[in-house]
Amino acid sequence: MAVGHLVAATLTPSSSPVLAVGATVIDRTPTPMKEWAVRELGTKDKPVLLGSVLLVTLLLAGLAGLIARRRRAAGATVLITLVGLAGLAALSRPLATARDLLPALAAGAVGVAVLLGLAHLADRTTGTRRGGAGATGPGEPPPDHPMTAAASPATTRRTLLLAVLGVAAATAVTGWAGRSLEKWRTRISGVRIPTARQPLPPLPEGLDAVYDGISDFQTATGRFYRVDINLSLPIVPPDEWDLRIDGEVDHPFTLTFDELRAMPLVERDITLTCVSNEVGGKYVGSARWRGVLLSTLLDRAGVRDGADQVLSTAADGFTISTPLAAVQDGRDAMVAIAMNGEPLPAEHGFPARLVTPGLYGYVGATKWLRKLTLTRYDDAEAYWTERGWATEGPIKVSSRIDTPAPLSRIDAGRTVIGGVAWAQHRGVKGVEVRIDGGPWQAARLGPSAGIDYWRQWYLPWEATPGRHSLAVRATTRDGEVQTAVRATPFPNGSSGIQEIQVVVE
Ligand SMILES: Nc1nc2c(c(=O)[nH]1)N[C@H]1C(S)=C(S)[C@@H](COP(=O)(O)O)O[C@H]1N2
Ligand SMILES: [Mo]
């Protein structure tokens, strides 16, 4: 598997046997179970999945080894079947080509060679032990038989041990080399993003500068939540990349990266949220995006009557449908090429992604964007909508307590309760806090960076010893109060009010 991973890293990382099987497991997992995994494991879901794939493979390969002790061909067949399944998984990935079979072929060749080699050495240890016991009977090979006379039992066992350790070490080095190569190939260097026509002034100082524990007003790129279907990042060299705009348009066209970045760039502060975010969850982040307004691209293409969705296709084969009405209602959806002043990192969609204020990521935030097709909902369905998630995904008003942390112990005395609230493209008008089931009290709001951005808030609190429960809710500028009615993320986003317990000492 390590060899397969290394070979894949030189070609297409997602064709690695372990990644291809992992991705297939994700695809085949029913939505409720996927939701459970995201909820229980959070961002550890991927390491847990890959760890399980590796563990099961090790066990099955061990089984192949045991079988090979008696019947070489049968053991090798088990191994080849395993590798064959990984090869099929790689071939069934959305953008797979025949080349994606190579990692599995390499894994199969090396795997069978190692299996036969180790089985041979293992036989010699058993053979010499038999010979050494001196129990040479009528049916037994004579002491000078090549199997028994080759070496002393100690030497052979040491050879076997050394061979096993050697294989283990080679596996570790090869696996590490594959991971390093994969990382190196997704690095971004030497990409320059021009400044915006009208650069935004720096953000005002946020509440995080004054009160510990409140989320930073702007989320640092390295700490921005990441959600996508990929176990390995797509490699998209900017000089091979282009963006196609087609479908129900008068003038389809294609832009290279150089052409795109030469267009007039705008800058916007926008908060992204994942539909999988639970009430109080972490799948929300705020950044300054720079790119080309989607409306500029659509105007140039000339959208025909009849289209009702913008279907985007990404380099990972992922698709998103964004309601045309939403991107034409004046909100600043854009094809972003920079995040917080730097080129997009590979994790967040390099070289270009869609950002749509007010819509959950799965309907408006296509990373590694390659194509925008104007089409109809009746004619095409996107990745998550095919899997039962809602067609339109407006972000629900929500708020989160960042400090004090749930179930924490804090000192009695003067402190603050604080956090963030968001209602993208509607704006947050107010935030209220409820202590121990008492009346809702108005919190103070931090600076505003527009209706598409979250709002920090805090409430000074004289904490008295004992156990306390704290709850928060937000109100939008158009007057909607965050509902207490609980909803799961599936199918159109969570709702409810976050209530936490703390102990004051
Ligand atoms: N190509 C691609 N784009 C994608 C996804 C994906 O799996 N593939 N996931 C979407 C989802 S569900 C979300 S919430 C956002 C997350 O963006 P981020 O990882 O930059 O925070 O990306 C969206 N864009
Ligand atoms: Mo998402």
Neighbouring residues of the ion ligand 2, judged by CB less than 5 Å: 227, 274, 361-362
d(Cα 80, Cα 181) in Å, to the nearest integer?
26
Under-70 pLDDT residues of the chain: 127-151
Domains and CATH numbers, the chain: 2-129+150-186 (no CATH), 207-387 (3.90.420.10), 398-504 (2.60.40.650)
**Rounded distance from Cα 185 to ligand 2 centre (Å):** 25
d(Cα 141, Cα 274) in Å, to the nearest integer?
69
pLDDT tens-place string over residues 438-488: 999 999 999 999 999 999 999 999 999 999 999 999 999 999 999 999 999
**Rounded distance from Cα 365 to ligand 2 centre (Å):** 9
Mutate to test the pocket of ligand 1, among 38, 228, 350, 368 (most ligand atoms within 8 A of CB): 228
For ligand 1, atom 16, which residue shows the shortest CA distance?
227
Q: Which atom of ligand 1 is nearest to the CA of 275?
A: 14
Whole-structure pTM value: 0.87
Could you tell me where the beta strands, DSSP code E, fall in 210-340?
242-247, 253-256, 266-273, 284-293, 309-314, 319-323, 334-339
Radius of gyration of the chain measured on its C-alpha atoms: 29
- Residues for the chain: how many in total? 505
pLDDT tens-place string over residues 147-192: 555 567 788 889 999 999 999 999 999 999 999 999 999 888 889 9
Q: Check the CA dihedral 367-371-375-376 and report its sign.
A: negative
Q: Are 326 and 309 in contact (CB under 8 A)?
A: no
Closest-lying ligand to the alpha carbon of 318? 1
User: How far are the Cα atoms of 434, 446, 458, 487 from residue 440, in angstroms, in the given order?
Assistant: 5, 19, 13, 22
Stretch (H or E) spanning 109: helix 102-132
Question: Token pair for residue 157?
Answer: 């066992």
**Rounded distance from Cα 380 to ligand 2 centre (Å):** 20
pLDDT of residue 438: 98
Those residues whose C-beta lies under 8 Å from the C-beta of residue 358, and which sit 6 or more positions away, are 326, 331, 364, 394, 395, 424, 425, 426, 452
* Residue 349 Rama label (left phi>0; alpha psi -120 to 50; beta): left
**Rounded distance from Cα 267 to ligand 1 centre (Å):** 20
